[in-house]
Amino acid sequence: MKQISKEIVLRAETKQRQFLENVIAGKESLELLIMPNSKCNLGCTYCAPGGFLTAKLPYKRMPNEIIDKILALAIDFKNRTNGLVNLEGHGFEPMLAGKDFFRNIGKKAKEADINFVIQTNATLIDKEWTKIFKTYDIGVGVSIDGPEDLHNATRPFHSGADSYKAVLRGIKYLREADIPFGIISVLSKLHIKKDVSYWYDWLLENEFYSADFHLPATSSNNAFFKTNKPSVNELTNFVLDLYDLWKTRSDGIVIRPFALFSHSLIDGMPPSGACTLTSGCHRVVGFDFTGNIALCDSNVYSIGNIKDIGCLEELAAHPAMLASHMRPFLIAQNEESCKKCGYFDLCQGGCTHEAMIDTGNTYQKTKFCEVYKSLYSKIETDLLELGKLPAPREERTS
């Protein structure tokens, strides 16, 4: 890699200041990711942190003093600046932390008018959980990989038992309590082997009208997933075929990447609130159960420990944040294919975590570049035909 120039450092420092100013002004949000557990109750084959390896590990939960300090920092920031800060329970299975743990977060977040959501495998949801979600306005996202055969192959319990029916039971409780939710599926080779309509029709049959899919960015050494990991070319074809089907059918389903890419092209800005689709680690600060802090849910950009943090502004000003802001500039400098790409200002090299897993280097673009570039191109063509864009995006000149 070329030496980092003073110009790049200055441009990144400017972005770093602008981000904090935008958060305070409510133009951008700072997402605080709360990862309260040391293990999961599922053994997902593609889990990057190795959830499938946690079955025999002792359970450890985030101590009350750590979660209370996270909440205190968020509430203090909100009260002083009226800035936009959100909370998310995420990583392994957050609901293992227990109902009282989430009542505490939910109560304080609601009183401070701070948005709080949880991403869960839904297997633990019961009526009491739905009452907590309802009482404290906790948003819910459900991880489910598709029809029963696909889901059970990649998201079993640690025992190897199927989890699909347990997830549907949790979803049934959500619906009975009239709690809206979205679903996320991780694509595997099993999806690719099926026609795209298999996953799409499953969405319709189950009335999942808010859906997302993630590409399998993982260093998982699980033997099953190693043989069922799709190639970039297979993923590209699947995603483009899915887009064509979704566009043709017009069934009212919102598929998040398609919506985000459309808005990104129209607004001329990176996808908002979707760090996996752009170089956006600076937007997401993760706290693990020990209080260690890093950008996103990995240790690519480590910040330290919460015991050493006095206010959220310290996180936004941390050198790890600067490194994250520097990443797009360095990719544009080092990656020949990015230098003139008309979509680079939108993707900015893609997810840092994906790049790190594939290359060991955060300053390289995501391995899923072709998937995203092809999707941008196809959506751009449609938006031009609809008159939603004045002209095609031009090649970059610098």
**Average of per-residue pLDDT values in the chain:** 92
pLDDT tens, residue by residue, 138-173: 999 999 999 999 999 999 999 999 999 999 999 999
* Number of domains composing the chain: 1
* Mean pLDDT in residue range 180-185: 98
**Is the CA virtual torsion 236, 240, 241, 246 positive or negative?**
positive
* pLDDT score recorded for residue 277: 78
* pLDDT score recorded for residue 271: 80
| Residues 1 and 310: beta-carbon distance below 8 Å | no
Give a yes or no: residue 393 inside a domain.
no
| Residues 277 and 347: beta-carbon distance below 8 Å | yes
* pLDDT score recorded for residue 98: 98
pLDDT at 183 over 90: yes
Q: Please report, rounded to a whole number, the percentage of residues in the chain having pLDDT higher than 70.
A: 94
Give a yes or no: residue 394 inside a domain.
no
* pLDDT score recorded for residue 304: 94
pTM, two decimals, is 0.94
pLDDT at 299 over 80: no
* pLDDT score recorded for residue 101: 98
Give a yes or no: residue 266 inside a domain.
yes
* pLDDT score recorded for residue 278: 81
pLDDT tens, residue by residue, 190-204: 999 999 999 999 999
Give a yes or no: residue 397 inside a domain.
no
Give a yes or no: residue 260 inside a domain.
yes
Range of the domain at 112: 6-385
pLDDT at 298 over 90: no
What is the C-alpha separation between 32 and 88, in angstroms, rounded?
6
DSSP letter for 275, please.
Answer: G
What is the C-alpha separation between 235 and 191, in angstroms, rounded?
9
pLDDT tens, residue by residue, 313-345: 999 999 999 999 999 999 999 888 998 999 999
What is the C-alpha separation between 120 and 36, in angstroms, rounded?
12
pLDDT tens, residue by residue, 257-287: 999 999 999 999 888 767 777 887 888 999 9
Better-predicted residue by pLDDT, 380 or 280: 380
Give a yes or no: residue 396 inside a domain.
no
* pLDDT score recorded for residue 222: 67
* Domain of residue 217, CATH code: 3.20.20.70
* pLDDT score recorded for residue 4: 87
pLDDT at 65 over 90: yes
Q: Where are the alpha helices (DSSP H) in 177-229?
A: 189-193, 196-205, 223-227
Over the range 346-384, which residues count as b (16 or more CB within 10 Å of their CB) and which as e?
bbbbbbbbbbbbbeeebbbbbbbbebbbbbbebbbeebe
- Give the C-alpha distances (Å, rounded to integers) separating 309 from 239, 284, 304, 317, 323: 42, 16, 9, 11, 19
Give a yes or no: residue 398 inside a domain.
no
* pLDDT score recorded for residue 282: 85
pLDDT tens, residue by residue, 343-376: 999 999 998 888 887 777 888 899 899 999 999 9
* pLDDT score recorded for residue 358: 75
- Of 1-10, 27-36, 227-236, least confident by mean pLDDT is 1-10
Give a yes or no: residue 135 inside a domain.
yes
Please give the torsion angle defined by the CA atoms of residues 234, 235, 237 and 239, in that order, rounded to the nearest 10 degrees.
Answer: 160
pLDDT at 1 over 70: no
* pLDDT score recorded for residue 220: 61
* pLDDT score recorded for residue 122: 99
pLDDT at 128 over 60: yes
* Mean pLDDT in residue range 61-81: 97
* pLDDT score recorded for residue 221: 64
Per DSSP (E only), the strands in the chain are 30-34, 85-89, 116-120, 139-143, 181-186, 210-214, 254-255, 284-287, 292-295, 302-305
pLDDT confidence tier of residue 290, bands split at 50, 70 and 90: very high
